[in-house]
Amino acid sequence: MSGIVSKYSSTRTGASRPTPPLLDNHGRKITYLRLGITDRCNLRCIYCMPEKGIDLLAHDEILTFEEVSRLVAIFCRMGLTKVRLTGGEPFARLDCLSLIDHLKREVGVPHLHLTTNGVETHRHIRRLKQIGLSGLNVSLDTLSRSRFVELTRRDRLDQVLRTIDEAVRCGMHLKINSVITESTTDEEIRSLAGLAKQVPISVRFIEHMPFSGKTATSVVQEELLSTRVNRLFPRLHTVLARGPSTARLFSMAGFRGTIGVIGGQTRCFCAQCNKVRVTPAGRLKTCLYGKSAVDLKQMLRSGKDDGDLENAIRGAVQERHIDGKAAELNNGFKEQQSMASIGG
């Protein structure tokens, strides 16, 4: 087989036809799949999960390698060009590296990305580069060791920094994601931003969202994040104001990289949203803040063919809410799940 279309051939039906693009009921084209491949994790970030961890899915509740591969091929045939693997911690799944290799080489995902906490990732950077991973997002909320332990409940900062060093050395397209909580100090924000001064990477500050047990009203937003970043770096200029990306990007004279702000709680990016999610349990979510739309795993395991799956996905995106606030309102539950079970 040759060519991009044949790469998306179904492992089940042999169908290889590209299908019309995936459009939602508000005219937004869906081109990006965020795929949670596990709910397990080797850190316990205080904003993501409790100290004892979350109630984990049984292994047979998690999508298999073959199921993931088949779903990704179906999404790619519908015009999705970007897939991000996330979790939980993707490397907590034993077959993570072979899955990445398979999705890139056999399924032919045009732009394959990975979001990781960076603890084990340094071992795999060279291989990821060889496979052709398009980009790596490493989550890191502080450069202080004691604060890292406080925030993640684990003493693993050195390993994460090793991952960042190795990724920079290998020329990997790298972004650092830093969740800013009420306890984050100005000094921590300054030192994280300093990474973008030294190397051509993007450091993105993310508004803390009320997942894992906190209700929306309990989040204290004393100062909107972008106001705070602008106060700390008054000479910033805008590089990217808006677009399909959730981040607004800034830079500054003397910086080799960029600084980004992601308003996850403010939700200023919904109008351009091009993304859907599949959770480790195989549920399609058309909005981070909404209920799951379709149980794709149940469909996969009850013998549905690719056409049935495609129709179910198309039907779900036709019922998308206009934005995250509307989705959350309709969601009905006051407490959100951990990001680890949604896929962050």
Q: Contact residues for ligand SF4 (CB under 6 A)?
A: 41, 43-45, 48-49, 87-89, 117, 139, 339-340
Sequence-distant (6+) residues with CB within 8 A of 52 are none
Residue 264: contacted member of ligand SF4, ligand SAM, none (CB under 5 to 8 Å, by partner type): ligand SAM
CA 229 to chain centre: 22
CB of 145 to ligand SAM, least distance (A): 18
Residue 63: contacted member of ligand SAM, ligand SF4, none (CB under 5 to 8 Å, by partner type): none
Concatenate the DSSP letters of all residues of 192-240 into one string.
Answer: HHHHHHHSS-EEEEEE----TT--GGG---SS-HHHHHHHH-TT-EEEE
Residue 49: contacted member of ligand SAM, ligand SF4, none (CB under 5 to 8 Å, by partner type): ligand SF4
CB of 41 to ligand SF4, least distance (A): 3
Residue 44: contacted member of ligand SF4, ligand SAM, none (CB under 5 to 8 Å, by partner type): ligand SF4
List residues binding ligand SAM (CB under 6 A): 41, 47-48, 86-89, 115-117, 139, 177, 179, 206, 208-209, 211, 264, 339-340, 344
Residue 209: contacted member of ligand SF4, ligand SAM, none (CB under 5 to 8 Å, by partner type): ligand SAM
CB of 4 to ligand SAM, least distance (A): 28
Question: What whole-number distance in Å separates Cα of residue 139 and Cα of residue 344?
Answer: 11
Nearer to ligand SF4, 88 or 290 (CB): 88
Long-range Cβ contacts of 297-305 (<8 Å, 24+ apart): 297/61, 297/63, 297/67, 300/63, 300/67, 300/70, 300/71, 301/67, 305/12, 305/13
Nearer to ligand SAM, 73 or 99 (CB): 99
CB of 223 to ligand SF4, least distance (A): 23
Q: Over the Cα atoms of the chain, what is R_g? A: 19
CB of 339 to ligand SF4, least distance (A): 6
Q: Of the candidates 291, 296, 326, which has an alpha carbon nearest to the alpha carbon of residue 309? A: 296
Within 10 Å of residue 214's Cβ, how many Cβ atoms?
14
Nearer to ligand SAM, 35 or 109 (CB): 35
Sequence-distant (6+) residues with CB within 8 A of 186 are 228, 232
Residue 116: contacted member of ligand SF4, ligand SAM, none (CB under 5 to 8 Å, by partner type): ligand SAM
Are the CB atoms for 48 and 212 separated by under 8 Å?
A: yes
Alpha carbon separation from 136 to 4, 22, 206 (Å, rounded): 23, 26, 16
CB of 26 to ligand SAM, least distance (A): 25
Nearer to ligand SAM, 41 or 293 (CB): 41
Are the CB atoms for 270 and 262 separated by under 8 Å?
A: no
Nearer to ligand SAM, 10 or 177 (CB): 177
CB of 194 to ligand SF4, least distance (A): 22
Nearer to ligand SF4, 37 or 196 (CB): 37
CB of 86 to ligand SF4, least distance (A): 8
185-203 b/e with 16+ CB inside 10 Å = b? eeebbeebbebbeebebbb
Nearer to ligand SF4, 19 or 181 (CB): 181
Nearer to ligand SF4, 153 or 301 (CB): 153
Q: Residue 313: helix, strand or coil by DSSP?
A: helix
43-62 b/e with 16+ CB inside 10 Å = b? bbbbbbbeeeebebbeeeeb
DSSP annotation of 144: -
Residue 208: contacted member of ligand SAM, ligand SF4, none (CB under 5 to 8 Å, by partner type): ligand SAM
